[in-house]
Amino acid sequence: MAAQPVTGPMHRLAFVLFAALVGLSAAAAPCVAPLQWEGRWVQYDHGTGRNHRAAVSYDGRNQRIRVLQQHKKHTPCQKFFEYIYLYQRMVMFQIDQKTKDCSKVALRESWDPFDIPDNSTFEEQYSIGGPGDSVEVQEWSDRKPARRHETWVGIYTLKDCYPVQETYSSNSSVTTSTRFYDLQLGIRDPSVFTPPSTCGSARPERMAGSEC
């Protein structure tokens, strides 16, 4: 006698479990983020309570980032800088956008790319936005069973693995949150990573961000 197909509550339960396993397997491996892109970000410093807006060129292939701070009319005493981070040389150039004065400072932290590390923990998948106007994203973290709190949480788009937001914390307190937007693939002008000639006589310390 041929076996009869399973129906009823047990069949529905098996289907739900199968769907859950498929969903978990789809998120088992992090997506691969683009190596080169340009766009903008808003970085919120939870220590100072300030937002820092900038245009960004990101070159993961050569481990370098260029950050151009955006001017705000309501901060007359504020200086605005261009930052060029060259991690293969472990050096950062800080250029005053107005005077072109330059500082050259050694980097103390190693290269940390905007991507999802292979050993990350999948948190969840959800939509940002509303019906007819939303984007699917996945949330990952460095949370591990032996550690109660994560120190990094990254949100990346499901389709093309663009960064949406990254949050860092220390001692259970959030330190910085960075939101990314208006991203475009590629680097239009690679010369943005070349320090200007004024950096030939750069000072060895960072410049202050305020004049008054």
**What is the pLDDT confidence band of residue 149, given thresholds at 50, 70 and 90?**
confident
pLDDT score, position 20: 45
Is residue 31 within 8 A of residue 42, CB to CB? The reply is no
Q: β-strands 64-69, 50-59: how paired? A: antiparallel
Structure tokens at 23: 């969903």
Is the pLDDT at 31 greater than 70, yes or no?
yes
The tens digit of pLDDT for each residue in 14-26 reads 444 444 444 444 5
CATH code: domain 36-199 is 2.50.20.30
E strand or H helix at 19:
helix 9-26
Average pLDDT over the chain reads 86
Q: How far apart are CA 135 and CA 163, in angstroms?
A: 12
pLDDT score, position 19: 41
CA 108 from chain centre, in angstroms, equals 19
Domain boundaries, the chain: 36-199
What average pLDDT score do residues 200-211 get? 85
Q: Tell me what percent of the residues of the chain surpass a pLDDT of 70.
A: 81
pTM over 0.85: no
What average pLDDT score do residues 184-198 get? 96
φ and ψ at residue 90, rounded to 5 degrees: 55, 50
pLDDT score, position 2: 46
Residue 155 pairs in a beta bridge with 139, 165
E strand or H helix at 25:
helix 9-26
**What is the pLDDT confidence band of residue 171, given thresholds at 50, 70 and 90?**
confident
Q: How far apart are CA 170 and CA 116, in angstroms?
A: 19
**What is the pLDDT confidence band of residue 73, given thresholds at 50, 70 and 90?**
low
Q: Compute the half-sphere exposure of residue 35: CA atoms within 13 Å on the CB side of its CA.
A: 4
The maximal CA–CA distance of the chain, rounded, in angstroms, is 90
From 114-118, 126-130, 166-170, 191-195, the region with the lowest mean pLDDT: 166-170
